[in-house]
């Protein structure tokens, strides 16, 4: 009999938790041991741009998951006990969860958090039999604030989509620098812009390609960090990212603003890039845009702090070692976060710009490292399954 597993969050291909859910669901859809269930209906929008063959392979499991949710709405949480469901909740900062009333025969709190103020964690985590996270940094924080058993499983990438490949040849004569993640203090877009502004002033062919939109634009409004101008919205509530970049000293023609788009569109873009720049002040996991770029053979400049340390190895990236303490921000502890040196970021960009061989070597090693270390969704799903079935 297949064990039903409720991943109590939304599957999507446009944001981190959604990609986690969608990829695990896909890996388990036809598994003989587990039946994947999502916490929200899987709509056509959830699988936008997913190829028809994959959609066909998901069809039965998707239908079963959506029917289960309808039954859960009708009968109530006792259905979880009746069907012997294992429930996995998505816990972020503050360890809160939507639909926390869903209690299974065993309950796992999957904790992905950057806020190091964990007062009251024991009360917030009381429901759970065990805790799961995706970096050694989060595991250490959890063990310090909770007596629950903690397991760490690294996240991955879809190696069937993200792998090295040829460029289109349509962008010759440009040096493309990719950067991704929703705009917020933690993601440190201010540091990326400060460094790229100086780099771009020296190199007219440099172009910053930014995937900074998210389903939650409201969290980004007003962000300024160390920049002169804050991020604004237009009359329709849309982020004025291009205006923000230009107001902070980068020429219009040296910036490409990517829209919010399905993950399936990213590989072709990444394979056009000369390098990737990810300078987050903190990452609870290991930075999905960085892993995807590495998998495509793109050399990545990485802030060597928090969860990203689990991604940094010998010659698989350009690590930013100069990390200084980050002052606490309103409502969020920043112990262990790291502030990258803008000068070191500029030096890293210059290295990759001037040394073609280093760029190729680091990019190739990064792609090899992702595979050698099993950082794929297939391996993640297999480890997740073993963990969950071992707990019941």
Burial of 222 from C-beta contacts in 10 A (0-12 / 13-18 / 19+): exposed
CA-to-CA distance for 273 and 384, rounded, in angstroms? 32
Quick one: pLDDT at residue 284? 97
Pairing mode, strands 150-152 and 86-91: unpaired
Which residue is it, tokens 């991943």?
7
The phi, psi pair for 375, rounded to 5°, reads -85, 65
Q: How far is CA 374 from CA 190, 197, 291, in A?
A: 32, 36, 12
Same domain, 29 and 54: yes
Q: Among 268, 155, 249, 255, which Cα is nearest to 212's? A: 255
- Residue 152: beta bridge partners? 133
User: Do residues 150 and 130 touch, judged by C-beta distance below 8 A?
Assistant: yes
Residues 152 and 242 both lie in one domain:
no
Based on the fold, state whether residues 123 and 202 are members of the same structural domain. no
Query: 384 phi and psi, to 5 degrees?
Result: -65, -45
Q: Is residue 163 part of a domain?
A: no
Q: Give the CATH number for residue 341.
A: 3.40.50.2000
**Is 180 a domain residue?**
yes
For residue 162, is it within any domain?
A: no
Domain ranges, residue 278: 175-372
* Same domain assignment for residues 145 and 45: yes
Residue 264 covered by a domain: yes
Residue 96 lies in a domain: yes
Q: What is the per-residue DSSP string for 152-212?
A: E----B-TTTSS-----STTTT-EEEEEES--STTTTHHHHHHHHHHHHHH-TTEEEEEE-
For the entire predicted model, the pTM comes to: 0.96
| Rounded to 5°, angle at Cα 224 from 323 and 328 | 50
Has residue 167 been placed in a domain? no
Same domain, yes or no: 241 and 110 = no
Query: Which token pair is 385?
Result: 């399954």
Listed residue (280, 300, 304) closest to 291, CA to CA: 300
Alpha helix stretches (DSSP H) within the chain: 16-28, 52-75, 78-82, 121-124, 136-145, 189-202, 241-247, 266-270, 288-295, 342-354, 356-372, 377-389
Domain count of the chain? 2
Is 360 found in the same domain as 212?
yes
For the chain, which residues score pLDDT lower than 70? 392
Whole-angstrom Cα distance, residue 69 to residue 22? 16
Cα atoms in the 13 Å half-sphere on the side-chain side of 310: 26
- Can you count the helices (H) and strands (E) in the chain? 12, 14
- Are 24 and 87 in the same domain? yes
Asked if 213 contacts 239 with a C-beta cutoff of 8 angstroms, the reply is yes
C-beta atoms surrounding 340 within 10 Å: 26
Asked if residue 306 and residue 385 are part of one domain, the reply reads no
pLDDT of residue 120: 85
Regarding whether 31 and 46 lie in a shared domain, the answer is yes
Within this chain, do residues 74 and 49 fall inside the same structural domain, yes or no? yes
Inside any domain, residue 71 = yes
pLDDT value, residue 121: 92
- Pairwise CA distance, residues 348 & 13, whole Å: 31
Cα separation of 157 and 165, whole Å? 16
Residue 392 has a pLDDT of 64
CATH code of the domain covering residue 123: 3.40.50
As a dihedral over the C-alpha atoms of residue 52, residue 58, residue 63, residue 66, rounded to 10 degrees, the angle is -110
Judged by phi (left if over 0) then psi (alpha if -120 to 50, else beta), residue 99 lies in left
Three-state SS at 19: helix
Verify that 150 and 182 share a domain, yes or no: no
In a domain, 383, yes or no: yes
Partnered with residue 132 across adjacent β-strands are 110, 151
pLDDT at 330: 85
Assess whether 189 and 255 both reside in one domain: yes
């Amino acid at each position: 009999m297949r064990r039903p597993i409720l991943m109590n969050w939304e599957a999507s291909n446009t944001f981190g938790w959604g990609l986690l859910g969608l990829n695990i669901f896909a890996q388990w859809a036809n598994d003989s041991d587990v039946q994947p269930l999502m916490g929200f209906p899987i709509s056509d929008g959830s699988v936008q741009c997913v190829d028809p063959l994959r959609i066909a392979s998901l069809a039965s499991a998707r239908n079963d998951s959506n029917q289960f949710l309808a039954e859960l709405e009708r009968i109530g949480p006792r259905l979880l006990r009746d069907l012997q469901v294992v429930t996995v909740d998505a816990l972020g900062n503050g360890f809160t969860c939507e639909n926390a009333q869903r209690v299974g025969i065993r309950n796992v709190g999957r904790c992905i958090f950057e806020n190091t103020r964990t007062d009251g964690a024991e009360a917030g985590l009381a429901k759970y039999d065990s805790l799961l996270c995706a970096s050694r940094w989060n595991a250490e924080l959890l063990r310090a604030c909770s007596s629950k058993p903690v397991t760490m499983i690294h996240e991955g990438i879809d190696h069937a989509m993200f792998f090295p490949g040829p460029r289109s040849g349509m962008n010759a004569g440009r040096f493309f620098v990719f950067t991704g993640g929703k705009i917020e203090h933690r993601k440190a877009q201010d540091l990326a812009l400060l460094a790229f502004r100086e780099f771009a002033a020296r190199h007219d062919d440099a172009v910053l390609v930014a995937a900074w939109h998210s389903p939650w634009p409201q969290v980004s409004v007003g962000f300024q960090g160390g920049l002169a101008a804050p991020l604004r919205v237009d009359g329709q509530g849309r982020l004025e990212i291009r205006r923000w970049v230009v107001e902070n000293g980068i020429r219009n023609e040296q910036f490409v603003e990517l829209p919010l788009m399905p993950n399936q569109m990213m590989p072709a873009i990444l394979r056009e890039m000369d390098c990737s720049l990810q300078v987050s002040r903190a990452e609870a996991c290991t930075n999905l845009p960085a892993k995807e770029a590495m998998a495509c053979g793109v050399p990545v400049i990485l802030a060597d702090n928090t969860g990203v340390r689990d991604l940094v190895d010998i010659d698989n990236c350009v690590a930013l070692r100069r990390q200084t303490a980050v002052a606490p921000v309103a409502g969020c502890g920043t112990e262990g976060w790291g502030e990258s040196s803008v000068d070191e970021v500029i030096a890293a960009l210059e290295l990759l710009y001037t040394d073609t061989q280093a760029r190729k070597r680091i990019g190739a090693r990064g792609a090899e490292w992702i595979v050698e270390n099993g950082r794929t969704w297939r391996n993640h799903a297999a480890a997740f399954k073993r963990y969950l079935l071992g707990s019941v």
